[in-house]
């Protein structure tokens, strides 16, 4: 084990788009676990859009990140030293250790993972926060019925790809929205969606109408902005919008103005925000369900990997621009 750790710190709040200057990479002494704590060598770091929200100094469901601290995030890795009886060196765990090569956490914040069931990295995606988000957001908030049409934006992403595949299992017609032909081809040909609309093709409203001849019953929203307005305009009576993410807004200095509230009234649409932690006592239920479908070969999954901690800021900036293709990870070891 080396003497020194490496960390990515939050250096300054972005004004609009995140830049590499908002981060600082530092080498710091290797931490040592105290009583009840565990030292973990991180193997994978998850990059997720919610991190952008933490970089703002605004009220949200979680406190804003503080300047000078290690960037927050989920990791998976291996226990290298433990002062808690629940973990031993060599154990594979998921931990909230953030953007660093090593980290110390209280044992109660670690989750043991089963790498015989799925690769370790899957516990940051399909079997982690994004997959659990998809599971509860779809089943509990969106509540699709067989034969209904579901639209999901960021369809090739960590959450969207799972939402669409789960909705297919529920018997829905599933239409993705993604940026670019390659992602759309993947969504239809690999993930098995019925259609996918390329929002960069310049004809979103008409392409959506063509892909949803019976209108839209459930919209699982990961993006927001003009994409959400276009979907709202063709939603059916008593349809539902799951507001899971608004990545189109996260870097904007002015919020987008949504113009389709008339449709909400006329069609009695239910729009509902959701956050995965609302079901934190039931996460095991989602992981069990997702694992079962994965074992049966009914869920496909793709990762977008950046090599090395030093490249995490670049990977995060690319994620916010939609340049990732599948679940965005940083390989740390």
Q: Which residues bind a second copy (CB under 8 A)?
A: 53, 59-61, 224, 228, 237, 243-246, 249, 254-262, 264-275, 278
Nearer Cβ to a second copy (81/231):
231
CB of 58 to a second copy, least distance (A): 8
Q: Output the smallest distance, CB 267 to a second copy, in A.
A: 6
Q: Are 191 and 152 in contact (CB under 8 A)?
A: no
Closest CB to a second copy among residues 53, 322: 53
Of residues 258 and 325, the one with the C-beta less far from a second copy: 258
39 close to 33: Cβ distance less than 8 angstroms:
yes
Match 């933490």 to its residue by tokens: 54
Pairwise CA distance, residues 153 & 155, whole Å: 5
Least Å from the CB of residue 140 to a second copy: 11
Shortest distance in whole angstroms from residue 247 CB to a second copy: 11
Closest contact distance (angstroms) between CB of 182 and a second copy is: 28
Q: How far is the CB of 178 from a second copy (least distance, A)?
A: 21
Q: Which residues contact 57 (CB under 8 A, 6 or more apart)?
A: 13, 64
Q: Considering beta carbons, is residue 90 or 280 the nearer one to a second copy?
A: 280
**Interacting residues of 20 by C-beta distance below 8 A, sequence separation 6+:** 313, 314, 317
- Using the 8-state DSSP alphabet, how is residue 260 labeled? -
Question: Which among 61, 73, 57, 52 is positioned nearest to 246, based on CA atoms?
Answer: 52
Residue 273 CB-density burial (10 A; 0-12 exposed, 13-18 middle, 19+ buried)? middle
Kindly state the tokens that stand for 97: 């250790």
Give 119 or 273: the residue with its C-beta nearer to a second copy.
273
Whose Cβ is closer to a second copy: residue 121's or residue 222's? 222
Q: How far is the CB of 158 from a second copy (least distance, A)?
A: 17
* Positive/negative CA dihedral, 127, 296, 138, 213: positive
Least distance between a second copy and beta carbon 273 (Å):
4
Nearer to a second copy, 270 or 314 (CB): 270
User: Which of 274, 299 has the CB closer to a second copy?
Assistant: 274
Q: Quick one: 45 or 242, whose CB is closer to a second copy?
A: 242
Distance in angstroms (rounded) separating the CA atoms of residues 185 and 282: 34
- Cα–Cα distance between 132 and 135 in angstroms, integer? 5
**149-153 and 173-178 beta bridge pairing:** parallel
Nearest Cα residue to 93 out of 77, 109, 116: 77
- Strand stretches in 165-215, DSSP E: 173-178, 195-198
Q: Token pair for residue 252?
A: 């904007």
In the complex, least distance from residue 249 CB atom to a second copy, rounded to whole angstroms: 6
Paired sense of beta strands 149-153 and 216-221, if any: parallel
């Amino acid at each position: 084990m080396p003497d020194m750790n490496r960390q990515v710190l939050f250096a300054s709040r972005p004004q609009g788009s995140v830049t590499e200057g908002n981060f600082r990479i530092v080498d710091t002494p290797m931490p040592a676990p105290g009583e009840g704590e565990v030292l973990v060598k991180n193997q994978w770091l998850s990059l997720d859009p919610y991190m952008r929200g933490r970089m703002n100094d605004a009220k949200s469901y979680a406190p804003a990140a503080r300047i000078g601290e290690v960037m927050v995030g989920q990791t998976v890795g291996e226990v290298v030293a433990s002062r808690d009886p629940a973990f031993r060196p060599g154990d594979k765990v998921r931990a909230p250790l953030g953007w660093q090569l090593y980290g110390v956490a209280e044992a109660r914040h670690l989750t043991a993972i089963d790498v015989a069931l799925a690769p370790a990295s899957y516990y940051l995606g399909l079997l982690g926060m994004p997959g659990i988000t998809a599971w509860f957001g779809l089943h509990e908030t969106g509540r699709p019925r067989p034969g209904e049409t579901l639209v999901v934006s960021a369809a090739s992403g960590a959450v969207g790809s799972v939402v669409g595949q789960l909705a297919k299992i529920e018997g829905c017609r599933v239409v993705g929205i993604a940026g670019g032909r390659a992602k759309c081809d993947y969504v239809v040909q690999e993930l098995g969606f019925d259609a996918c609309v390329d929002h960069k093709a310049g004809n979103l409203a008409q392409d959506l109408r063509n892909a949803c001849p019976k209108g839209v019953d459930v919209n699982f929203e990961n993006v927001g902005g003009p994409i959400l307005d276009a979907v709202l305009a063709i939603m059916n009576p008593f349809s539902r919008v799951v507001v899971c993410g608004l990545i189109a807004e996260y870097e904007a200095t002015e919020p987008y103005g949504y113009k389709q509230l008339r449709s909400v009234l006329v069609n009695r649409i239910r729009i509902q925000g959701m956050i995965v932690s609302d079901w934190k006592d039931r996460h095991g239920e989602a992981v069990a369900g997702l694992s079962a479908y994965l074992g049966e070969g009914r869920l496909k999954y793709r990762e977008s990997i950046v090599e090395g901690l030093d490249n995490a800021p670049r990977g995060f900036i690319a994620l916010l621009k939609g340049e990732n293709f599948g679940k965005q990870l940083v390989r740390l070891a």
